[in-house]
């Protein structure tokens, strides 16, 4: 997947694009000349800000409020893109939420919301858009995971389970799609400086950064550049869970 001219009908689809890693990823692809489809469950104003910023790079960018944790919402998006005759050449499954608390304090709705947003959304988006990739015999899928999907974290059982599922989903789907020339990889992020980690107090943040050999949290720009570099790399790189954590885990 190389840089595309702005008039191409090929688009990179980014979920959870109104802020954080998703926002920075969208702007990174735009800076490299790729047209975009950006999604958010809500935050229409912030999503419009990302869209306008991406268009400053001279690319096409369409934004849609889409609840990727709901399959019917994803199907509605698919139909809208078909009506516009747009083709998805790469998928960045970034949408995600966290839940912090003991397992016995985790409600059923909390569990379902985390699993549906973090894991089921990857299935829904891929199920909707993989057929056109198979027809073209090319495509790239990047799923955003977490180091807790690798090793688990106390008080984050639901989140860890969802990201462990993302890792297994990535490895299995990569084997399934490799004969069609489609690569599937995941990035297991460590502590990245996003709103998701804003719950940390200054003292907690300092303690966390002390544990990281690199001495600091990762940035959204570092994460976005890795996502981009993997997406445009040789498709023979597939089925990998690439950890970005400054040596933490």
* Closest by CA position to 1, among listed 24, 34, 23, 31: 34
Length of the chain: 249
3-state helix, strand, coil in the chain (%, to 5): 50, 20, 35
Question: Helices marked H in 56-185 — which ranges?
Answer: 71-83, 108-115, 121-136, 147-151, 157-177
From 159, 210, 228, 236, the catalytic residue: 159
Q: What angle do CA 189, 16, 7 make, to 5 degrees?
A: 110
**How many CB atoms lie under 10 A from the CB of residue 207?**
11
> Is the Cα dihedral 219, 220, 223, 225 positive or negative?
negative
Look up residue 195 and give its DSSP letter: G
Please give the Cα distance from 168 to 189 (Å, whole number): 16
210 is catalytic: no
Torsion angle of C-alpha atoms 179, 79, 65, 60, degrees rounded to 10: 70
* Residues assigned a catalytic role: 159
């Amino acid at each position: 997947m190389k840089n595309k001219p702005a008039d191409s009908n090929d688009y990179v689809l980014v979920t959870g694009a109104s802020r954080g890693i998703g926002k920075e990823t969208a702007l990174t692809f735009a800076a490299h000349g790729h047209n975009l489809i950006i999604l958010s469950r809500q935050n229409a104003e912030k999503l419009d800000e990302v869209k306008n910023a991406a268009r400053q790079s001279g690319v096409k960018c369409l934004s849609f409020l889409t609840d990727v944790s709901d399959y019917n919402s994803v199907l509605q998006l698919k139909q809208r893109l078909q009506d516009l005759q747009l083709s998805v050449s790469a998928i960045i499954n970034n949408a995600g939420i966290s839940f912090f608390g003991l397992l016995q304090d985790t409600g059923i709705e909390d569990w379902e919301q985390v699993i549906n947003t973090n894991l089921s959304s990857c299935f829904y988006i891929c199920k909707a858009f993989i057929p056109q990739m198979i027809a073209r015999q090319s495509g790239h899928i990047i799923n955003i995971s977490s180091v807790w999907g690798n090793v688990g974290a106390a008080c984050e059982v639901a989140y860890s389970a969802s990201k462990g599922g993302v890792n297994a989903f990535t490895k299995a789907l990569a084997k399934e799609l490799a004969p069609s020339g489609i690569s599937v990889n995941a990035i297991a992020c460590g502590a990245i400086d996003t709103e998701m980690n804003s719950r940390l107090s200054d003292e907690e943040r300092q303690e966390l950064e002390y544990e990281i050999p690199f001495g600091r949290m990762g940035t959204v720009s570092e994460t976005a550049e890795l996502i981009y570099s993997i997406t445009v790399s040789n498709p023979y790189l597939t089925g990998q869970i690439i950890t970005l954590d400054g040596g933490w885990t």
